[in-house]
Amino acid sequence: MFRSVQWLMLAFGVAYLGAFAWADEAKKQDSWVDLIAGDLNKHWVTKGNWSLDKDGVVTLTPRPGEKGWSRWDMYLWSIKTYGDFEIEFEYKVQKGGNSGFYFRVGDLNNPVAKGIEVQIYDSGSKPENAKLTDHDSGGIIPGIPPTKNAAKPAGEWNKFHIINKNDKLTVVLNGVTVNEVDLSTAKVKDRPKVGNIGFQDHALPLSLRNIRVRELK
């Protein structure tokens, strides 16, 4: 009888722990925020020519005469600011395409000096074994190239998974970890700890989809 009670208590404990773990995981899943659900203006602000179609694809279509990358108000900026966070998104560029994902931007009028950029580039079209720089996809600007060229050729969708937690930055591109950086010892150690996130308008076509983010505690 005593042994039966022990087994019953053990089974109850396992079930309780399993339910607790399931609830914790469900809570984590619920903490993700879809940043392009329904209306681009809900989470973003820009003067650039960004649009959201019925299939959930955000498209940057440069207007005639637009060129260069220092048109800060043309970038797609988040309304909300983030400290520690995790983000996933997919991007597609054309041949020679160039953009970037910015985070911890403390001044939207000076994101290069007051923020950190993960490069988006047509690196998938580079020759195999070509030297990589911080301007290749997954590189951290300034000065930190990706460890591998995991980008797909121009015209194909790529997926980024980026985690910024306690100054530890992990960048995963198409399932490959291409950068692990301690931001507190890198060239960007003086950048703000909290700021806006955003995507660069380099006056070149860019497509984005499945953008979701969650704050980390």
Residues 133 and 139: beta-carbon distance below 8 Å:
yes
Domain count of the fold of the chain = 2
Residue 77 confidence (pLDDT) above 60: yes
Tell me, yes or no, whether 21 and 41 share the same domain: no
Q: What is the mean pLDDT of the chain?
A: 91
CATH number at residue 163: 2.60.120.560
Tell me, yes or no, whether 96 and 21 share the same domain: no
Tell me, yes or no, whether 11 and 115 share the same domain: no
User: Peptide bond preceding 111: is omega within 30 degrees of 0, i.e. cis?
Assistant: no
Domain that holds residue 15: 1-30
Report the C-alpha gap between 203 and 65 in whole angstroms.
9
Tell me, yes or no, whether 162 and 96 share the same domain: yes
DSSP secondary-structure letter at 107? -
Q: pLDDT tens-digit profile of 23-61? A: 455 455 569 999 999 899 999 999 999 999 999 999 999
Tell me, yes or no, whether 94 and 151 share the same domain: yes
Tell me, yes or no, whether 15 and 113 share the same domain: no
Tell me, yes or no, whether 118 and 178 share the same domain: yes
Tell me, yes or no, whether 172 and 108 share the same domain: yes
Evaluate if pTM is beyond 0.85. Answer: yes
Mean pLDDT across 10-19: 53
